[in-house]
Amino acid sequence: MGAGAKHKLVFVDRLLATLVHLRHGATHDVLACWFGVDRSTITCAVGEVRPLLATRGCTVAPDVRLRTLAEVIDHLGTSGKSGIIDGTEIRVRRPAAGRRDREKFISGKNKQNAVKSMVVTDAAGRLLFCSPSVPASCADITHARKLGLVELLADGPVVELLADAGYQGLGAQTGGRVVTPPHRKFKKHRPEWCEELYERQRTALLTPHPGRARHWPI
């Protein structure tokens, strides 16, 4: 038996509290009420369990786990599958008054205090990677660059990543490996390369049965 105070929550409860926090964004105060403990107990539990989950990575096959963005890019290139990238925000408490860089947590999109992570999934929506969080004022494309996505795509295997308009500009930096909706200035008079890309994406979405066609906004 080790010295020190015992945990007020058994490991299963600490794991459950962490999963609820990560999945639903429930605050530590709310979780503390649910589990009948102090907020500091939940904060400690999340701080202990979250690194354990991060080191486990995402399982894509028996005995194959993806833990880094580089491993995800290699996996997509080897399997020949497309991926999807997007930024997700989780609301947080407003930092205390007087704290340095307090305004960095204000999201430019939602005007709320939040942190942001970049998520990578396969075409079916299966989670492959979730980056460390940064203040929400960081733009999606800036966050992707800081994670080294441009270098990984430029120097790695041929991979196609689908992204929203927040990542416009990465396509030109990665040789077209990041596919985003065309810029608004191209809606009326698209250049030739944009027309070719539009037709290629449009053909891929059509099916032999018109009634079952998949409609994605281009």
Domain identity same for 213 and 105: no
- Residues 13 and 106: their CA atoms lie apart, in Å, by 32
Q: Mutual orientation of helices 11-24 and 39-56 as an angle, nearest 10°?
A: 80
- Residues 168 and 183: their CA atoms lie apart, in Å, by 7
Domain identity same for 177 and 187: no
2 in any annotated domain: no
161 in any annotated domain: yes
Kindly provide the b/e burial profile for residues 40-52, where b requires at least 16 CB atoms within 10 angstroms of the residue's own CB: ebbebbbeebeee
pTM: 0.70
Domain identity same for 64 and 51: no
194 in any annotated domain: yes
| Token pair listed for 141 | 């494309």
If one counts the domains in the chain, the total is 3
Domain identity same for 158 and 65: yes
1 in any annotated domain: no
Which residue range(s) make up the domain with 215?
Answer: 182-218
Let me know: does 70 contact 152? Beta carbons within 8 Å: yes
- Residues 60 and 127: their CA atoms lie apart, in Å, by 9
3 in any annotated domain: no
Domain identity same for 83 and 169: yes
Domain identity same for 193 and 167: no
Domain identity same for 149 and 199: no
Domain identity same for 68 and 42: no
83 in any annotated domain: yes
Domain identity same for 208 and 132: no
Task: Please tell me the predicted confidence (pLDDT) of residue 172.
Answer: 86
| DSSP H or E run through 50 | helix 39-56
Task: Please tell me the predicted confidence (pLDDT) of residue 44.
Answer: 93
Domain identity same for 189 and 156: no
121 in any annotated domain: yes
Task: Please tell me the predicted confidence (pLDDT) of residue 218.
Answer: 41
pLDDT in tens, the chain (218 residues): 455 556 678 999 999 999 998 888 888 999 999 999 999 999 999 999 988 888 888 888 888 888 899 999 999 999 888 999 999 888 888 878 877 878 888 888 778 888 899 999 998 888 899 898 899 999 999 999 999 999 999 888 889 999 998 898 898 888 889 988 876 665 566 666 666 666 665 555 445 554 444 444 44
13 in any annotated domain: yes
- Residues 57 and 64: their CA atoms lie apart, in Å, by 9
Domain identity same for 36 and 24: yes
Let me know: does 111 contact 89? Beta carbons within 8 Å: no
Domain identity same for 126 and 98: yes
Question: Which of 40, 56, 72 is the last residue in one of the domains?
Answer: 56
